[in-house]
Amino acid sequence: MPLTRLRSQWDALRLPDFTSDAWRGVLISLVVVGYALGIGYHLTSWAAGVAPALAWRVGYHASIVLCYASLWLLLSASFRQIDRSPVRLFLYAVLAGVTYLVLASLVQALGAGQGLLAGDGNVAGLDYQRRVPLTIAAVVKVNLLSLLEVTFTMLILLLLRSLVFYRRTRSSLFNWRLMMGFFVTAALLTFMRNPADDLGGVVALAMIPAVGMAVVNSFRLSWIVYLPFREKMATMGLALVLMVMLGFSLGDGVLPDVSSYTRFYSFPLSVFALLAALFGILYCVTTMLSLLFHLPTTGAFQRKADEVAAIQSLTHLISQVFDLDKLSRTIVASPIDAHSGDVAWLLLMRPGASEPLHLQAVQGAAAADVQETMDIEALFAEVQETQDVLLLDEAPSDRRVRTHPDGAFESLLVVPLLARDDVLGALFVAKDVRYGFETDDVKAIRVFAAQAALALDNARLFEERLEKERMHRELAIAREVQQKLLPQQIPSLRGTSIAASSVSAYEVGGDYYDFVRLDDDRLAFIVGDVAGKGTSGAFYMAEMQGIFRSLSRQAPEPHEFLVAANQALNTTLDRRAFISVVYGILDVGREEFRLARAGHCPVALIDLYGEARLLRSGGIGLGLNEGALFEQSLEVCTERLQPGDVFVLYTDGVVESRNAAGEEYGYTRLKASLQEHRHEDADDLHEALLCDLHTFLGAETYDDDLTLVVVKWHGLPIGVSSPVPQASALSLPT
Amino acid sequence: MSTFSVSFRDANGVRILDLHGELDAHTASDLEESIQQCHAEGNVNLLINGTDLDYISSAGLGVFMAYVEEIRDDGGDIKIAGLQSKVYNVFDLLGFPVLFDICETEEEALARFEEPAPDAGNASS
């Protein structure tokens, strides 16, 4: 296509940057010098009384064309940055027009009535045929009036160019340049023509495409739709004034002969000015007509724009606001700002609250008004069920809506707020007329509701996350406190070595072990496991610690201790909670270990020769029975200590831990491991047992709390009654 | 994770609860609801059949303690039967045989309901 090729060539055409200082200097000097030469030329010809020689004439006209081309480039460069509203642009054009008319009238008044020459086409003070000015006033008028007219038409062209280029496309640029090209071509065809002559057929032909392109360009009016109503009216008035002024400048009415002077000055300039003025008039006409037709749709367009703005502000909120009240206010304001409704309110679900439905925000009416007029819960129940929009075109005829005295709720729209298949609440919008909601209103409100749901869901997630973090911190504190309840140091006792550790499967656990040294010979032990719901275990464990620390000194013997502990716990433990413990006294003076089992895992005992036993004496868990049965069933077992004896106390986390295949560690494996490592001291034995358990489990994570206490009796050297160094106190990190 | 379910049967005015799967801290509430429901429906003679119960944790044992007192106050009892040896061991360690009638078979347990107030009934008071 030759046209497209032409276009791309046009696009590739890059003019020099006339805004640069260097170019501006060149252009200004070209304008000044050319203009001064023109004045000189006219003065010379006036003084001589005859037109200068042909060569001079050619030089003059060329320099004038160059001068005004430079002026155009200068003005064009300074207008390139302009980005004003259409009303302003029209206002500037009108102001330019007024200035032009005033100045031109003043100049016209100079030397009026002098040097009249009869004859067609002759203007005061000018001899068209001989091409000489007759008076000095005529010289001034020729130069000034041409400058004024051409500058004015250039300004109009440039101001309108900003409008034509609104939302420019490649084709709009191309059309503009083509028009300018035709203008210049038609103008230059009259180069050196005698001002007394007509335009001539060729020029008239050349003007046809120029006018054609002017018509095409005058339909570039896309800026009109975006104008608010008032600005449309203002623009229409200004366009009318501008059109009239351009008409005056063309015709002979108010300013007779201005164009005749310009034509005398330079024929091409007058043609250019004529075409520019023509374009100006055309553009004003199309503008006025278009504005006239667009006036009625302004309201609808404005509403759409408000809708978009309201959605934008909501979308902006989603990422910013986690304050529910602020969010709700914005949500209910949106449909009203967008003119989709008169009253709007939000009903939110508050899971866990005593009243699960909450009227969060009302805009456009009082909350009491809303609640008295309709059963919002029932309306909400319906949209919650259908998860779809509920539209009541005649709201008062619905059984759930009463008639409001002011008729504020004549039509009603209820939109559920859906987020991740969950109904968070509903957005209610009401209008004071029946059938007030059009399809696009419903659409717009649905969009608001969708945005609102997203924003509310975000706010909710944010809150949940905060809550989770808070819980996490609290549990970390609880864990720290609980760790402090476990012995930080294991007391030493001659002839024995002891090692102990406890690990919780979760943040806080229900396992407990402790020691109290009663005197030089006796150490009280406890290992326990609280069975209770969740974190309650941690509290019972703390209670157990208190009981152990105080009671073991008052009633150290296993039977007395456990009976008293059971009584103490019975009043405080939840019915389904209980504590299983092993309690004992290691008495090195009498070289015996007295212990009792209250529902706990049996103590494992292995002697020097590898003989292993489980000490499974009778006894039920603490807190299971109020007294009689507990006491009846409790048996104390007394073991004579033999050097090399190892006692292992543990919680069910040890024997009931299961590996990936679902097998329990069990008593058999515990015994086997004990037999293998029985010659090591308590520390190494403890570590070896845990290591064996980990190997079996294949992981270091547990499903249950796990406590392991190892006590080894090394024995006393014969005849020595003072403490021996083997007793070691250990504090094990868990 | 562990699966657990309860199914109901009635025999001679005794509501039998068949437990299946693993009873631990997570599934304890299921059994709790079942027992509560039976009691609310007016059944005071409850028989827990543990033939298909593969595992029980200490939290699971707590459930039996939660209701036995109320039910005994209403003149009924919770009896337990058919436990697998591994599960019985857990009951035994905690001393449950002292607190509950634990029978080897369901028939034996049903027969015990016929007898007037056994030891376990007195034991709680």
B62: nearest CB among A576, A616, A628: A576
- Amino acid B1: pLDDT: 52
Residues A30, A67 contacting (CB under 8 angstroms) = yes
- Amino acid A533: pLDDT: 67
pLDDT tens-digit profile of A599-634? Answer: 999 999 999 998 899 998 989 999 888 878 899 899
| Cross-chain Cβ contact A531/B93 below 8 Å | no
Alpha helices (runs of H) in A338-373, residue ranges in sequence order: 367-373
**Domain with A444 in it: what CATH number?**
3.30.450.40
Tell me, yes or no, whether A311 lies in a domain.
no
- Amino acid A731: pLDDT: 42
Q: How many CA atoms lie within 13 A of B89 on its CB side?
A: 13
Question: How far apart are the C-alpha atoms of B124 and A595, rounded to whole Å?
Answer: 26
Tell me, yes or no, whether A235 lies in a domain.
yes
CA-based end-to-end distance of chain B: 39
Entry field: residues in chain B: 125
Residue B29 confidence (pLDDT) above 80: yes
Mean pLDDT (chain A) is 85
Question: How far apart are the C-alpha atoms of B72 and A99, rounded to whole Å?
Answer: 110
A364 and A258 within one domain: no
Confidence category of residue A300, pLDDT binned at 50, 70, 90: confident
Question: How far apart are the C-alpha atoms of A608 and A485, rounded to whole Å?
Answer: 34
Domain boundary among A464, A499, A519: A464
CATH architecture of residue range(s) B4-107: 2-Layer Sandwich (3.30)
- Amino acid A311: pLDDT: 76
- Amino acid A722: pLDDT: 46
Domain boundary among A300, A332, A364: A300
Residue A649 confidence (pLDDT) above 90: yes
A81-95, A314-328, A477-491, B30-44: least confidently modelled range: A314-328
| Cross-chain Cβ contact A624/B95 below 8 Å | yes
- The enclosing H or E element of A456 equals helix A439-485
User: Which has more pLDDT, A585 or A571?
Assistant: A585
What is the percent of chain A with per-residue pLDDT over 90, rounded to a whole number? 35
Residue A351 confidence (pLDDT) above 90: no
- The enclosing H or E element of A293 equals helix A267-294
Residue A636 confidence (pLDDT) above 60: yes
What value of ipTM does the predicted structure carry?
A: 0.86
- Amino acid A579: pLDDT: 93
- Amino acid A127: pLDDT: 77
**Domain with A658 in it: what CATH number?**
3.60.40.10
In chain A, the number of structural domains is: 3
**Strand A496-503 to B45-56 pairing:** unpaired
- Using the 8-state DSSP alphabet, how is residue A698 labeled? T
A287 and A327 within one domain: no
User: Which has more pLDDT, A107 or A722?
Assistant: A107
A403 and A355 within one domain: yes
What are the residues of chain A with a beta carbon less than 8 Å away from any beta carbon of chain B? Answer: 529, 531-533, 575-578, 580, 598-602, 616, 618-621, 624-625, 628-629, 632-633, 652, 656, 704
Contacts A–B by Cβ distance under 8 A: 63
pLDDT tens-digit profile of A317-347? Answer: 766 666 778 888 888 888 888 878 889 998 8
| Cross-chain Cβ contact A599/B98 below 8 Å | no
Question: How far apart are the C-alpha atoms of A34 and A21, rounded to whole Å?
Answer: 20
Tell me, yes or no, whether A474 lies in a domain.
no
A531: nearest CB among B58, B95, B99: B58
For the four alpha carbons of A304, A305, A309 and A310, in that order, the dihedral sign comes to negative
Give the gap in angstroms from C-alpha A642 to the nearest C-alpha of chain B. 27
- Amino acid A457: pLDDT: 86
Tell me how many degrees the CA angle A484-A619-A546 measures, rounded to the nearest 5. Answer: 25
A222 and A100 within one domain: yes
A577 and A613 within one domain: yes
Note down the domain range covering A397. Answer: 321-464
A537 and A417 within one domain: no
| Phi, psi (degrees; rounded to nearest 5) at A341 | -165, 170
Question: How far apart are the C-alpha atoms of A617 and A599, rounded to whole Å?
Answer: 9
**Strand B14-23 to A592-598 pairing:** unpaired
What is the percent of chain A with per-residue pLDDT over 70, rounded to a whole number? 90
- Amino acid A65: pLDDT: 92
A558 and A432 within one domain: no
Question: How far apart are the C-alpha atoms of A183 and A205, rounded to whole Å?
Answer: 12
pLDDT tens-digit profile of A415-469? Answer: 999 888 788 899 999 988 888 888 888 888 888 888 888 888 888 888 888 899 9
A529 and A431 within one domain: no
Mean of pLDDT values over A79-106:
85
- Amino acid A638: pLDDT: 93
pLDDT tens-digit profile of A191-237? Answer: 888 777 777 778 888 889 999 999 999 998 888 877 888 888 899 99
| Cross-chain Cβ contact B94/A529 below 8 Å | no
Q: What CA dihedral angle connects A312, A318, A324 and A329, to 10 degrees?
A: 0
| Cross-chain Cβ contact A618/B123 below 8 Å | no
pLDDT tens-digit profile of A679-730? Answer: 998 999 999 999 999 899 887 677 778 899 999 999 887 655 544 444 444 4
* Best residue of B56, B58, B125 to probe chain A, by most A CBs closer than 10 Å: B58
- Amino acid A251: pLDDT: 63
Which residue of chain A has the CA closest to B124? A625
Per domain, the residue ranges of chain B are 4-107
Count CB-CB contacts under 10 A for residue A145: 24
For the four alpha carbons of A558, A563, A565 and A566, in that order, the dihedral sign comes to positive
- Amino acid A14: pLDDT: 64
- Amino acid B123: pLDDT: 42
Which residue of chain A has the CA closest to B91? A599
Tell me how many degrees the CA angle A680-A681-A682 measures, rounded to the nearest 5. Answer: 120
The number of angstroms, rounded, from the C-alpha of A319 to the middle of its chain's C-alpha atoms is: 3
